[in-house]
Amino acid sequence: PTITRREDYAPPAWRIPDISLAFDLDADRTRVRAVLKVERAGDGPLVLDGDDLDLKSVAVDGRVLGEGDYTLADGKLVIPIPGDAATVETLVEIAPAANTKLMGLYASGGNLCTQCEAEGFRRITFFPDRPDVLSRYSVELKADKARYPVLLSNGNPVASGDLADGRHFARWDDPFPKPCYLFAVVAGDLRALEDSFETMSGRHVKLGIWVRPGDVEKCRHAMQALKDSMRWDEVHYGREYDLEVFNIVAVDDFNFGAMENKGLNVFNSKYILADAETATDADFDAVAAVVAHEYFHNWTGNRVTCRDWFQLSLKEGLTVFRDQSFSADMGSPAVKRIEDVRALRAAQFQEDAGPLAHPVRPESYIEISNFYTATVYNKGAEVIRMAATLLGPENYRKGTDLYFARHDGEAATVEDWVKALEDGGGTDFGQFRLWYSQAGTPSVTADLAYDAAAKSATLTLAQAVPDTPGQSKKAPMHIPLKIALFGRESGSLLGPEQLFQLRSASATMTFENVGEPPVLSINRGFSAPVTVETKRSAADFAFLSAHDDDPFARYEAMQQLMMDRLVDAVKTGGTDAAPLVEAVGRTIRNQALDHAFIGESILLPTETMVAERLGANVDPDAVHTAREGLRRALLEGVGRETWAALHAGLSDGVYDLSADGKGRRRLKNVALGYLFADADDGAVAAAEAQYQAATNMTDRIAALGLLVDTDAPARERVLQDFYERFKGDALVLDKWFTAQALATGEGALEKAIALSAHPDFTIRNPNRFRSLVGALAMNQFVFHRKDGAGYRFVADKLLEVDAINPQTAARFIAPFGRWRRMEDARAAMMRAELERIVAAPGVSRDTFEMASKSLA
Ligand code: B3K
Ligand code: ZN
């Protein structure tokens, strides 16, 4: 397969300032007429990309070309054009209903919709499918009015009306030049939740969220999030919305979360539809975060777009940072930071430590769809967060203002972004740029020495960046570390927090007037995406978990305490949980802490996190045993009555979506989880009672998620009940599959495999596929079952879906890529599955790239 390299970038030879598209829409056969105004910008013929298009005719300046006048091979339509400008017209036919890749124009639930990023536009018409070709679009849609009463595209609506034979049309103009990956069309039987927004300059924008007729009421949370994001972007970045309308459409069949098409976002319905009965608190938060993310792309992605796909983090890292900041402002910043760091560690740290590690700005790819990764998105966001920390709020804002002023209407690079921050913020990011080019999670070691006589403390810091595929011998990074010392005796802060910039391989930092033995608090707020190794003891972590005033650091101390216990239990069978039990007990009794924070900090690290920490020769059974053992030790140690009282005290039946309401449910369900550690009759009864009495999905699914792990009769009762209640609701049925795929009890794998034959299971819907197969691959204990049956099942399903939808399939390679960390027998079986996948006849380039790199 061909490799695309960053260093090979060349500007386009032709500009296309204008394009008009006319669609004759039909699920089986859609005709697309494209008229391109082309202007020469370099040498050579006009080269247009096309994939799976049935070309009917090509004309240049009104003259229809014969077969000898152009060439069409390997997805390229090459048209020699003698002069410097021309009008090129093509007519193609496409088959949306047969499009199982869900890229280009496809059918979902009887409606038609598009997905073009990254390279889907070429499946709609012939065009230079690259983000640095920006055009003004004018679009005409024609379709049967009864089947497709709603016709939407980008930009502003300019005309609509009836045609003969029960058909109708709509015309849309988008005045803002855009790359083709932001193009969208939707046709279907949809209803809108409508609203409006007055922008900061007093313009009125018509808002619509389009869904199935029965789902309109489930769009209220998304609509509020949209209006909140529009205001937030004005206040925090000075960015105003620019069209007369903003539409969102929710579809059930979608390869990922959502898409920021100009003025017409298309969403996976999972990130729009929400009400108390069907969506958890986490679902509500995800809806708001994704709505905000896609809205924020209007400036970071659309008005300023990417020059080439190696610059992807320019829009994605920045937009993730913006949506994280928005969610923090709308809810609890401390809890949001904890959740974001947990997600980063679970996905990105693993990626950075494995065979698929790559820099935030990658150097090469086979298939760009494989690079929508946690590194590009989440580490990219951390890099911008560090830049903002180093600049401070005012200078960061000067930098972003300059970025928009300089690059509005352009296709920019990561370098343009960093330069704007430097020039606007008045700093030098020379060394800081390494965050974009060097892969791997830096590790920082910190050693604190105290001289009681001199009343001084010395902190010795050192950094190292691990080797990653294709990169070794790395230069030291520019790492902003927020640091503070606490007095062991007084329990209070010894001087203000400091921002230390670690820029060399090692450095020291001295603290004067330290009148008592200090305890180190480092990387507060998770100021840098690094791992920190210190010689701090269990007592130090217990101390910090009680005294640190930085919520993240306090959370982190408890997590370290737990992680150290778990690692010790796996390695030596050690069982001394006393300091941890004491710390957890103290935390849950602390009235000054909010419920959500307590819930997060007393949650045990996942089995996957423990495996990652062990690093090598992992036996997932031993990890499971150790973690379950610690869970029971906390049940007994803190006391069953304490957990039961905590659970009961928070079960007051009040439901609202305030931060406090969500926090109460969070802690209540964490308490139920501990009560369930030995799944005795009392715990099973409590969980079943909660399931039955639940007034909302958060409480109901939490109880179900515990009950699936028992073989008590309650298990089948609640599963059956849940199915009957929600079988008509695809998103909720996904939860039913997921809960079972995450179970770890007797015969869990056989039960999951049996579910793949359930009439409601299908590999055609990505959400459903992920709900079962994706969840199973995340279930470390079961996926890694000793006999290799988990690997076999996931690999079989992955290959099955690869034949129809490569993008969805390729995502499931990563769990196999962890083979190097496993004990020998499992490692060999995982490798064997990867080899089978690489050698499978007809394997997609998406899956081939991921699997072959995972073997290396
Ligand atoms: N930009 C899209 C992601 C497209 C993924 C293509 N494989 C959604 C987002 O990040 O906002
Ligand atoms: Zn995005």
Residue 734, ligand 1, Cβ within 6 A: no
| The ligand 1 atom nearest the CA atom of 118 | 6
Asked whether residue 72 is domain-assigned, the answer is no
Residue 709, ligand 1, Cβ within 6 A: no
Q: Which of 129, 255, 267, 316 to mutate to test the pocket of ligand 1 (most atoms within 8 A of CB)?
A: 316
Asked whether residue 602 is domain-assigned, the answer is no
Query: Do both 398 and 487 map to the same domain?
Result: no
The neighbour count for residue 409, using CB atoms within 10 Å, is 11
Distance of alpha carbon 445 from alpha carbon 443, whole angstroms: 7
Residue 367, ligand 1, Cβ within 6 A: no
Residue 618, ligand 1, Cβ within 6 A: no
Q: Which of 254, 294, 371, 846 to mutate to test the pocket of ligand 1 (most atoms within 8 A of CB)?
A: 294
| The ligand 1 atom nearest the CA atom of 290 | 11
What secondary structure does DSSP assign to 692-714, as a single string?
HH-SSHHHHHHHHHHHTT--SHH
Tally the residues of the chain. Answer: 856
Residue pair 457/511 in contact by the 8 Å Cβ criterion: yes
> 115: CA distance to ligand 1 center in Å?
9
Tell which residue, 215, 283, 211, has the closest CA to residue 249: 211
Q: What is the CATH number of the domain that holds 470?
A: 2.60.40.1840
Residue pair 411/179 in contact by the 8 Å Cβ criterion: yes
> 601: CA distance to ligand 2 center in Å?
29
> 259: CA distance to ligand 1 center in Å?
6
Residue 293, ligand 1, Cβ within 6 A: yes
CA atoms lying within 13 Å on the CB side of residue 15: 13
Q: Is 387 exposed, middle or buried (0-12, 13-18, 19+ CB in 10 A)?
A: buried
Distance of alpha carbon 148 from alpha carbon 674, whole angstroms: 51
Residue 482, ligand 1, Cβ within 6 A: no
Distance of alpha carbon 653 from alpha carbon 697, whole angstroms: 13
Closest protein CA for atom 8 of ligand 1: 259
Query: Do both 520 and 498 map to the same domain?
Result: yes
Distance of alpha carbon 707 from alpha carbon 702, whole angstroms: 9
Query: Do both 347 and 453 map to the same domain?
Result: no
Asked whether residue 512 is domain-assigned, the answer is yes
pLDDT in the model for residue 30: 99
Distance of alpha carbon 762 from alpha carbon 577, whole angstroms: 45
In terms of residue numbers, what domain contains 831?
Answer: 727-856
Query: Do both 489 and 378 map to the same domain?
Result: no
pLDDT in the model for residue 653: 74
Distance of alpha carbon 572 from alpha carbon 562, whole angstroms: 15
Name the domain count of the chain. 3
Distance of alpha carbon 705 from alpha carbon 718, whole angstroms: 10
H helix and E strand count, the chain: 29, 31
- Tell me what ipTM this predicted complex has: 0.99
Amino acid at 635: L
> 613: CA distance to ligand 1 center in Å?
30
- Residue 6 tokens, joined: 């960053």
Distance of alpha carbon 612 from alpha carbon 353, whole angstroms: 9
Question: Using the 8-state DSSP alphabet, how is residue 494 labeled?
Answer: S
> 324: CA distance to ligand 1 center in Å?
16
> 257: CA distance to ligand 1 center in Å?
7
3-state secondary structure of 239: coil
What secondary structure does DSSP assign to 341-408, as a single string?
HHHIIIIIIHHHTSTT---SS-SEES-GGGG--HIIIIIHHHHHHHHHHHHHHHHHHHHHHHHHHHHT
Residue 370, ligand 1, Cβ within 6 A: no
3-state secondary structure of 657: coil
Q: Which of 103, 117, 811 to mutate to test the pocket of ligand 1 (most atoms within 8 A of CB)?
A: 117
Query: Do both 760 and 831 map to the same domain?
Result: yes
Residue 256, ligand 1, Cβ within 6 A: yes
- Residue 448 tokens, joined: 């604190």
Please name which ligand lies nearest the alpha carbon of 318.
2
Whether the upstream peptide bond of residue 118 has omega within 30° of 0, thus cis, is yes
Distance of alpha carbon 66 from alpha carbon 38, whole angstroms: 20
Please identify, among 477, 497, 528, the residue that sits at the C-terminal boundary of a domain. Answer: 528
Q: In this structure, are strands 54-60 and 63-64 parallel, antiparallel, or unpaired? A: antiparallel
Residue pair 289/270 in contact by the 8 Å Cβ criterion: no
> 118: CA distance to ligand 1 center in Å?
8
Q: CA Rg, the chain, in Å?
A: 28
pLDDT in the model for residue 576: 87
Residue pair 553/481 in contact by the 8 Å Cβ criterion: no
pLDDT in the model for residue 815: 98
**Residue 211: strand pairing partners:** 191
Asked whether residue 670 is domain-assigned, the answer is no
What secondary structure does DSSP assign to 96-157, as a single string?
GGG--S--EEEEETTEEEEE-TTTTGGGTS-B--STT--EEEEEEEEEETTT--EEEESSEE
Closest protein CA for atom 10 of ligand 1: 316
Instruction: Give the list of residues 6+ apart from residue 125 with CB closer than 8 angstroms, or none.
Output: 21, 32, 34, 50, 53, 90, 92
pLDDT tens figures, 618-665? 999 999 999 999 999 999 999 999 999 999 999 987 899 999 999 999
393-402 core/surface letters (b: 16 or more CB in 10 A; e: else): eebbbbbbeb
Please identify, among 376, 405, 437, the residue that sits at the C-terminal boundary of a domain. Answer: 437
Residue 117, ligand 1, Cβ within 6 A: yes
Asked whether residue 171 is domain-assigned, the answer is no
3-state secondary structure of 758: coil
Closest protein CA for atom 9 of ligand 1: 259
Query: Do both 371 and 401 map to the same domain?
Result: yes
Residue 810, ligand 1, Cβ within 6 A: no
Residue 118, ligand 1, Cβ within 6 A: yes
Q: What is the CATH number of the domain that holds 398?
A: 1.10.390.10
Instruction: Give the list of residues 6+ apart from residue 126 with CB closer than 8 angstroms, or none.
Output: 34, 48, 49, 50, 53, 55, 77, 90, 92
Please name which ligand lies nearest the alpha carbon of 319.
2
pLDDT in the model for residue 58: 98
Closest protein CA for atom 1 of ligand 1: 259
Asked whether residue 624 is domain-assigned, the answer is no
Query: Do both 427 and 459 map to the same domain?
Result: no
What secondary structure does DSSP assign to 420-448, as a single string?
HHHHHHT---TTTTHHHH--S--EEEEEE
Instruction: Give the list of residues 6+ apart from residue 309 with CB closer than 8 angstroms, or none.
Output: 4, 118, 131, 365, 368, 371
Query: Do both 420 and 502 map to the same domain?
Result: no
> 313: CA distance to ligand 1 center in Å?
11
Mean pLDDT by 10 residues, the chain (856 residues): 97 98 98 99 98 98 97 98 98 98 98 99 99 99 98 98 98 99 99 99 99 98 99 99 99 98 99 98 98 99 99 99 98 97 98 98 98 99 99 98 99 99 98 98 98 98 98 98 98 97 98 97 98 97 98 98 97 90 97 96 98 97 97 98 97 90 97 96 97 97 98 97 98 99 97 98 98 98 98 98 98 97 98 98 98 97
Q: Which of 101, 114, 254, 297 to mutate to test the pocket of ligand 1 (most atoms within 8 A of CB)?
A: 297
Residue 119, ligand 1, Cβ within 6 A: no
Query: Do both 428 and 503 map to the same domain?
Result: no
> 334: CA distance to ligand 2 center in Å?
23
Residues with CB in 5 Å of ion ligand 2? 316, 319
Please name which ligand lies nearest the alpha carbon of 291.
1
| The ligand 1 atom nearest the CA atom of 297 | 11
Please identify, among 472, 507, 528, the residue that sits at the C-terminal boundary of a domain. Answer: 528
Instruction: Report helix angle 551-572 to 607-614, nearest 10.
Output: 70
3-state secondary structure of 454: coil
Residue 259, ligand 1, Cβ within 6 A: yes
Please name which ligand lies nearest the alpha carbon of 118.
1
Tell which residue, 682, 718, 714, 717, has the closest CA to residue 699: 718
Distance of alpha carbon 197 from alpha carbon 175, whole angstroms: 20
Residue 323, ligand 1, Cβ within 6 A: no
Query: Do both 432 and 448 map to the same domain?
Result: no
Closest protein CA for atom 7 of ligand 1: 369
Residue 260, ligand 1, Cβ within 6 A: yes
Asked whether residue 324 is domain-assigned, the answer is yes
| The ligand 1 atom nearest the CA atom of 117 | 6
> 290: CA distance to ligand 2 center in Å?
9
Q: In this structure, are strands 46-49 and 54-60 parallel, antiparallel, or unpaired? A: unpaired
Closest protein CA for atom 3 of ligand 1: 259
Q: What is the CA 265 to chain-centroid distance, rounded?
A: 17
Closest protein CA for atom 2 of ligand 1: 259
Question: Using the 8-state DSSP alphabet, how is residue 575 labeled?
Answer: -
Q: Which of 122, 260, 296, 371 to mutate to test the pocket of ligand 1 (most atoms within 8 A of CB)?
A: 260
Q: In what order do the strands lie in the sheet with 85-94?
A: 63-64, 54-60, 85-94, 30-40, 14-24, 135-144, 167-178, 156-162
Question: 0.95 cut: is pTM over it?
Answer: yes
Distance of alpha carbon 458 from alpha carbon 446, whole angstroms: 10
Distance of alpha carbon 53 from alpha carbon 534, whole angstroms: 59
Please name which ligand lies nearest the alpha carbon of 317.
2
3-state secondary structure 772-821: HHHHHHHCHHHHCCCCCHHHHHHHHHHHHHHCCCHHHHHCCCCCHHHHHH
Q: Would you please indicate which residues are annotated as catalytic (active-site) residues?
A: 294
- Cα–Cα distances (Å) from 710 to 14, 608, 680, 753, in that order, read 64, 22, 9, 18
> 124: CA distance to ligand 2 center in Å?
22
Query: Do both 355 and 474 map to the same domain?
Result: no
Residue 291, ligand 1, Cβ within 6 A: no
Asked whether residue 535 is domain-assigned, the answer is no
> 427: CA distance to ligand 2 center in Å?
27
- Residue 154 tokens, joined: 């980008």
pLDDT tens figures, 258-287? 999 999 999 999 999 999 999 999 999 999
Query: Do both 735 and 856 map to the same domain?
Result: yes
| The ligand 1 atom nearest the CA atom of 294 | 11
